[in-house]
């Protein structure tokens, strides 16, 4: 509000004029509140519903209970057949997101450094191609990716999907990491080289520690995007022992016989724990990084 003027120089307003001046603000706040409240409520319901037996009118929770969380200690029956344990799914999700993070950060930092600091033939074209791939809709290539995975014997393998997902995100990651390296002063590296260190040693012991915060951010984002991944895992992984949390939840949702929102809310919350933790601790930097993180829509 400071912007609307300096109270000393302002003439006295009549009530109507004051209202007219306030009106745009009232509208702005009103529209924001009206559209934002439902979003908050949706997530609040998710929490409330998971800890209650039922909702009156669908929106007011009654009867606190932990019944909805029973999937943590017993397997869920679905049309006679048992869903795999939630812990199998959790372990697989960790495996998937963890491997993805390690691969993406390793390959991304190596490529990012080469793009930022090294001279090699075709450097300009490589930079251009990397940039163009950002906008490229990788999901339209799934049929061919299926053929390739099948050919490599990696269909229905979590590791196969890790490779695919790494490949789809690596142009963006490498480019972001290149940006970090661009900001490292040349002198720092120069000093190391003069002291007689090899290029690789300088990279590893001087330059890499310098961009550690950036690497941390990239790691968190790739972990979360792996954790949230659904489409690739749903398409390329079919067996029960390789189920991940996303597919687990999707199977529960798509069963028409047991639409139990209590259970669904509890599983969703369990699934969202890493996301929520991250969200609570890093809201501010999230607002600055999120564009680099989310490629889809």
Instruction: Give the footprint of other proteins on residues 262-281 (CB under 8 A).
Output: 264, 268, 271-272, 275, 278-279
Report if residue 205 touches other proteins, rule: CB under 8 A: no
CA distance 207 to 275: 30
The whole-angstrom separation of Cα 207 and Cα 187 is: 11
Told to check if 28 binds other proteins by CB under 8 A, we report yes
Nearest approach, Cβ of residue 254 and other proteins (Å)? 9
Which two three-digit tokens encode residue 120?
Answer: 């090699």
Establish how many alpha carbons lie within 13 A of residue 204's alpha carbon, considering only the half-sphere containing its beta carbon: 6
Q: Which is nearer to other proteins, 51 or 227 (CB)?
A: 227
Stretch that binds other proteins, among 71-79, 94-102, 188-196, 282-290 (CB under 8 A): 282-290
Min separation Cβ 103 and other proteins, Å: 8
Which lies closer to other proteins via its Cβ, residue 83 or residue 264? 264
Scan for tokens 């972001």, then name that residue: 176
199 binds other proteins (CB under 8 A): yes
Indicate which single residue of 224, 243, 263, 266 sits in contact with other proteins (rule: CB under 8 A).
224
**Contact call for residue 128 and other proteins (CB under 8 A):** yes
- Under the binding rule (CB under 8 A), the answer on residue 16 touching other proteins is no
Does 146 participate in binding other proteins (rule CB under 8 A)? yes
How many chain residues touch other proteins (CB under 8 A)? 102
User: Does residue number 187 form part of the binding site for other proteins (CB under 8 A)?
Assistant: no
CB of 146 to other proteins, least distance (A): 7
Under rule CB under 8 A, residue 206 binds other proteins: no
Residue 64 touches other proteins, criterion: CB under 8 A: no
Pick from 95, 219, 228, 255: which binds other proteins (CB under 8 A)?
228
Among 11, 12, 15, 24, binds other proteins (CB under 8 A): 24
Give the per-residue contact string, 84-123, with other proteins (x = CB under 8 A; - = no): ----------------------xxx-xx-xxx--xxxx--
Rounded least distance, CB 73 to other proteins, Å: 22
Of the candidates 4, 74, 205, 258, which one interacts with other proteins according to CB under 8 A?
Answer: 4
* Binder among 42, 80, 81, 194 for other proteins (CB under 8 A): 42
> What are the φ and ψ backbone dihedral angles of 264, each rounded to 5 degrees?
-60, -40
- SS3 for the chain is CHHHCCCCCCCCCCHHHHHHHHHHHHHHHHHHHHHHHHHHHHHHHHHHHHCEEEEECCCEEEEECCHHHHHHCCCCEECCEECCCHHHHHHHHHHHHHHHHHHHHHHHHHHHHHHHHCCCCCHHHHHHHHHHHHHCCHHHHHHHHHHHHHHCCCCCCHHHHHHHHHHHHHHHHHHHHHHHHHCCCHHHHHHHHHCCCCHHHHHHHHHHHHCHHHHHHHHHHHHHHHHHCCHHHHHHCCCHHHCCHHHHHHHHHHCCCCCCHHHHHHHHHHHHHHHHHHHHHCHHHHHHHHHHHCCCC
Of the pair 33, 191, the CB lying nearest other proteins is at 33
């Amino acid at each position: 509000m400071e912007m609307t003027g300096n109270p000393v120089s302002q003439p006295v307003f009549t009530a109507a004029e004051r209202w007219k001046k306030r009106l745009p603000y009232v509208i702005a706040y009103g529209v924001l509140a009206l559209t934002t409240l439902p979003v908050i409520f949706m997530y609040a319901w998710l929490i409330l519903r998971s800890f209650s037996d039922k909702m009156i009118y669908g929106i007011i929770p009654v009867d606190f209970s932990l019944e909805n969380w029973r999937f943590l200690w017993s397997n869920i029956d679905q049309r006679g057949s048992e869903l795999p344990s939630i812990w199998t799914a959790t372990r697989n999700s960790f495996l998937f997101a963890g491997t993805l993070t390690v691969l993406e950060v390793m390959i991304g930092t190596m490529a990012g450094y080469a793009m930022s600091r090294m001279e090699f033939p075709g450097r300009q074209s490589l930079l251009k191609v990397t940039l163009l791939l950002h906008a490229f809709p990788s999901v339209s290539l799934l049929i061919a990716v299926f053929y390739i995975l099948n050919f490599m014997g990696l269909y229905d393998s979590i590791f196969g999907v890790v490779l695919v997902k790494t490949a789809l995100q690596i142009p963006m990651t490498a480019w972001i990491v290149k940006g970090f390296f661009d900001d490292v002063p040349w002198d720092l590296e120069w000093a190391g080289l003069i002291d007689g260190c090899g290029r690789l040693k300088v990279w590893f012991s001087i330059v890499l520690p310098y961009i550690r915060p950036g690497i941390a951010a990239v790691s968190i984002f790739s972990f979360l995007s792996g954790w949230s991944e659904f489409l690739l895992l749903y398409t390329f992984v079919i067996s029960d022992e390789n189920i991940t949390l996303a597919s687990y939840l999707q199977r529960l949702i798509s069963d028409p016989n047991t639409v139990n929102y209590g259970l669904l809310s509890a599983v969703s919350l369990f699934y969202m724990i890493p996301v929520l933790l991250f969200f609570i601790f890093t809201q501010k930097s999230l607002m600055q990084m999120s564009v680099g993180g989310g490629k889809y829509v």
